Amino acid sequence: MSTDPIVDELDRLRAEQMESYHFDFEAFYRDLKEQEKASSQPIQAPQESPESPRVNSAARYNVRR
């Protein structure tokens, strides 16, 4: 099975970042909150994406799969 180099890179970066916190998620969260307080811009959750048109059309016509 071939791997995606982008996913591999993200996994590596995530592991390095968490290693710097000794894999302590609470410490990671506390640090993020401190960074948010120090920032001039609040950190916001991304907006939810709309449903795919395929799902909407199936629901509109009450199509069973």
Number of structural domains the chain divides into = 1
3-state helix, strand, coil in the chain (%, to 5): 60, 0, 40
**What's the domain range around 6?**
1-42
Taking alpha carbons only, the member of 56, 36, 57, 54 closest to residue 45 is 36
Predicted confidence at residue 52, as pLDDT, reads: 57
The answer to whether residue 32 sits within a structural domain is yes
Q: Cβ distance 41 to 51 under 8 Å? A: no
The per-residue pLDDT string of the chain (65 residues; one tens digit each, 9 = 90 and over) reads 668 999 999 999 999 999 999 999 999 999 988 998 898 887 777 787 766 555 555 555 555 55
The answer to whether residue 34 sits within a structural domain is yes
Predicted confidence at residue 20, as pLDDT, reads: 94
* Prediction pTM value: 0.51
Predicted confidence at residue 53, as pLDDT, reads: 57
3-state secondary structure of 62: coil
Kindly give, in sequence order, each residue whose CB lies less than 8 Å from that of residue 28, ignoring residues fewer than 6 positions away: 17, 18, 21
